[in-house]
C-alpha cells in the first residue's frame, strides 16, 4: 500500500481538463510544500512535470498545473492531448522514517 | 546536459547481492545541491524510493529495505552505486538512478532504467 493515495485511473476527451488527486497526511503533503508530479509513458523513465506543488520545469507546457489544499495535492491537465495519455505519480517529502514517498500512480486515458 | 546511465547484471540469483552502478556525465556528483537516488519499479507496479545519498556520504534508506541496502559514492569516477543483499523475487524491478534536489526533494533527472530479474 502506497503512502500517498491516488485514483487508479482517470479519463477525459481531447480538449477537456482533468484533475488527479494525491492524498497524504500531516507528515507529508499537509505540512510540506515539497510535492512533485511525474509522467511516465510505457517503457520510459518518469519525467518531472511539477515540483514544489505548483512549479513547472523550464520548457514544460503550461497545460500542466499543480495545487494543494490541506492533505491533498492535485495535478490538473487542461486541453487534453493524445500524448498526455500516461501514468502519473505524485511524490512528497515526509517527516516519517522515509525521506520521500510516492503515490500508487494514476493511469490517464485520453478517450 | 546532465545524463545518468545505470549498469550492472540483469539477472541475479535469489539470496545473492544485486549490484548496480550509475555513471553521471555532464555534471559532478560532488554538488551540494543534490542527492543521488535509486528508485525502483516492480513489473506492472508503481515507483518505490530505495534510498538517497548526499555528496558528503550521508545516506537515507527506505526502512522496508534498510537492513539490506547500501548506497555509496565514487567521486573519482563520478559514479554512485546500489547494493541490495539477500534478494528475492520481490526485488525484481526496473531500477532507475536519479538526481534529487537536496533542498526540495524532487527528482529532475532520471536514467533510462535497467531491468533486474531475480531468479530462483
Task: Summarize the confidence of residues A31-57 as an average pLDDT.
Answer: 97
The low-confidence residues of chain B, meaning pLDDT below 50, are none
Q: Closest Cα to residue A51, out of B36, B2, B107, B49?
A: B107
Per-residue confidence at A103, pLDDT binned at 50, 70, 90? very high
| Nearest C-alpha in A relative to B61 | A98
Query: Residue B98 is inside which H or E element, if any?
Result: strand B93-101
Q: Over range A33-53, report the average pLDDT.
A: 98
The pLDDT assigned to A31 comes to: 96
Q: Name A59's Cβ contacts closer than 8 Å, sequence gap at least 6.
A: none
For residue range A51-101, what is the model confidence (pLDDT) as tens digits?
A: 999 999 999 999 999 999 999 999 999 999 999 999 999 999 999 878 999
Rounded to a whole number, what is the distance in Å from the CA of A30 to chain B's nearest CA?
Answer: 15
The Cβ of residue B100 has, within 10 Å, a number of other Cβ atoms equal to: 23
Does A100 contact B111 at a Cβ distance shorter than 8 Å?
no
Which stretches does DSSP call E strand in A1-111? 9-12, 18-23, 35-40, 47-50, 64-69, 72-77, 86-93, 100-102, 106-110
Q: What angle do CA A104, A24, A100 make, to 5 degrees?
A: 70
The grid coordinates of residue B57 equal 556520504
Q: What average pLDDT is seen over chain A? A: 96
Question: What's the grid cell of residue A67?
Answer: 495545487
CA–CA dist A105, B57 (Å, integer): 31
Query: For position A3, what pLDDT does the model report?
Result: 86
pLDDT bucket at A1, cuts 50 / 70 / 90: low
Residue B92, all three cell numbers: 525484481
Contact B113 A45 (CB under 8 A): yes
In this prediction, residue A2 carries a pLDDT of 66
Q: Which of A34, A57, A105 sits opposite B105 (nearest CB)?
A: A34
Query: Pick from A34, A47, A102: which is nearest to B46 by CB?
Result: A102
Bridge partners, B109 (sequence order): B99
**What is the pLDDT at residue A96?**
87
The residue that leads in pLDDT, A94 or A1, is A94
Amino acid at each position: 500500500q502506497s503512502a500517498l493515495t491516488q485514483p487508479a485511473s482517470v479519463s477525459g476527451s481531447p480538449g477537456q481538463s482533468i484533475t488527479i488527486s494525491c492524498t497524504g497526511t500531516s507528515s507529508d503533503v499537509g505540512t510540506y510544500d515539497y510535492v512533485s508530479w511525474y509522467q511516465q509513458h510505457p517503457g520510459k523513465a518518469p519525467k518531472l512535470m511539477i515540483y514544489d506543488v505548483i512549479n513547472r520545469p523550464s520548457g514544460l507546457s503550461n497545460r500542466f498545473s499543480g495545487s494543494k489544499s490541506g492533505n491533498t495535492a492535485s495535478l490538473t491537465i487542461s486541453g487534453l492531448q493524445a500524448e498526455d495519455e500516461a501514468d502519473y505519480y505524485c511524490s512528497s517529502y515526509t517527516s516519517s522514517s522515509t525521506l520521500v514517498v510516492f503515490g500508487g500512480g494514476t493511469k490517464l486515458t485520453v478517450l | 546536459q546532465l545524463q545518468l546511465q545505470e549498469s550492472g547484471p540483469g539477472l541475479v540469483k535469489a539470496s545473492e547481492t544485486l549490484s548496480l552502478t550509475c555513471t553521471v556525465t555532464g555534471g559532478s556528483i560532488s554538488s551540494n545541491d543534490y542527492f543521488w537516488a535509486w528508485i525502483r519499479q516492480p513489473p506492472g507496479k508503481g515507483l518505490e524510493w530505495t534510498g538517497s545519498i548526499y555528496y558528503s556520504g550521508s545516506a537515507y534508506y527506505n526502512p522496508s529495505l534498510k537492513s539490506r541496502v547500501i548506497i555509496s559514492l565514487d567521486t573519482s569516477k563520478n559514479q554512485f552505486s546500489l547494493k541490495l543483499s539477500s534478494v528475492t523475487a520481490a526485488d525484481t524491478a526496473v531500477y532507475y538512478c536519479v538526481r534529487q534536489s537536496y533542498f526540495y526533494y524532487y527528482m529532475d533527472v532520471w536514467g533510462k532504467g535497467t531491468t533486474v530479474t531475480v531468479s530462483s
